[in-house]
């Protein structure tokens, strides 16, 4: 009798634990949906800003100066690209405990011409480069004592300045399709659409997490729709 009671209380404890776990999964899932919706809102408002700035640029520069007729159809590579890697997550499934999910990183204003390699890689955006170049330099009481350090520091500072220069060059090249002298509104539109790209990358990654969270709520195996994003 006592044994039965003990077994029953263990069973109840296990069920409570499972119910708590399910509730946690559901909350996590709802949080993911909420942040996904916030990202979509942010995307809509940033896109609206970009369109407005583009319309203002068209108004100040003239309709004929910003049309698709002027778009460059000579062979050229994209300056802003995407890196796709797979992230491994632990799964409770015994069939496949290590789950792979795609993860996207944005690479802005990178140049692969002439084997130069990637200069403008930025996940967070342009601000990272601005921070690097604006950070105060380390003070050395006697710089001559540490020539290698000074050289290394100068070269890393040089590398970040070079990345900045490269990004600036690519931006100017993008704008030059519409003429040498462009309206500040066109530059602002360029900046807005760069922000849009960053938001889109976040949305893409959030969608894959949504799928993962949804899986935590499914009891009967992988539904057909989770194979996509």
Partner 1 sequence: MASRTQIPTKNAALIAMIADEDTVTGFLLAGVGNVDVRRKTNYLIVDSKTTVKMIEDTFKEFTAKEDIAIVLISQYVANMIRFLVDSYSKPVPAILEIPSKDHPYDPARDSVLSRVKYLFSTESVARR
Near partner 1 by CB under 8 A: residue from 59, 100, 116, 140: 100
Which H or E run includes 85? strand 81-90
212 counts as binding partner 1 under rule CB under 8 A: yes
Write out the binding residues for partner 1, residues 142-161 only, by CB under 8 A: none
Complex with partner 1: residue 118 or 123, whichever CB lies closer? 118
- Tokens 């899986």 belong to 215
123 counts as binding partner 1 under rule CB under 8 A: no
Near partner 1 by CB under 8 A: residue from 6, 27, 40, 161: 40
CB of 81: closest distance to partner 1 in angstroms? 4
63 counts as binding partner 1 under rule CB under 8 A: no
74 counts as binding partner 1 under rule CB under 8 A: yes
Residue 175 buriedness (CB in 10 A; 0-12 / 13-18 / 19+): middle
Residue 229 buriedness (CB in 10 A; 0-12 / 13-18 / 19+): middle
CB of 137: closest distance to partner 1 in angstroms? 31
> Long-range contacts made by residues 66-70, C-beta under 8 angstroms, separation at least 24?
66/178, 66/186, 70/177, 70/178
Near partner 1 by CB under 8 A: residue from 62, 102, 158, 184: 102
Q: How far apart are CA 183 and CA 32, in angstroms?
A: 40
CB of 16: closest distance to partner 1 in angstroms? 19
Residue 149: both structure tokens together: 């350090």
């Amino acid at each position: 009798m006592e044994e039965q009671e003990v077994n029953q209380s263990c069973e109840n404890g296990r069920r409570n634990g499972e119910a708590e776990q399910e509730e946690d999964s559901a909350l996590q899932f709802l949080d993911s949906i909420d942040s996904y919706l916030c990202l979509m809102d942010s995307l809509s408002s940033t896109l609206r800003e970009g369109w407005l700035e583009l319309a203002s640029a068209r108004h100040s520069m003239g309709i004929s100066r910003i049309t698709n007729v002027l778009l460059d159809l000579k062979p050229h590579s994209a300056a802003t690209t995407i890196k796709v890697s797979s992230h491994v997550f632990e799964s409770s499934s015994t069939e496949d405990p290590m789950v792979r999910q795609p993860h996207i990183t944005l690479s802005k204003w990178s140049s692969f011409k002439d084997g130069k390699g990637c200069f403008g890689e930025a996940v967070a955006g342009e601000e990272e480069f601005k921070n690097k170049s604006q950070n105060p330099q380390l003070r050395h009481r006697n710089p001559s004592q540490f020539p290698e350090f000074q050289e290394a520091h100068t070269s890393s500072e040089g590398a970040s300045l070079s990345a900045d220069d490269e990004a600036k060059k690519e931006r100017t090249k993008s704008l030059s399709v519409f003429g040498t002298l462009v309206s500040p509104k066109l530059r602002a539109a360029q900046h807005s659409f760069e922000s849009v790209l960053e938001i889109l990358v976040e949305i893409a990654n959030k969608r894959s997490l949504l799928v993962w969270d949804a899986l935590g709520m499914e009891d009967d195996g992988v539904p057909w729709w989770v194979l996509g994003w």
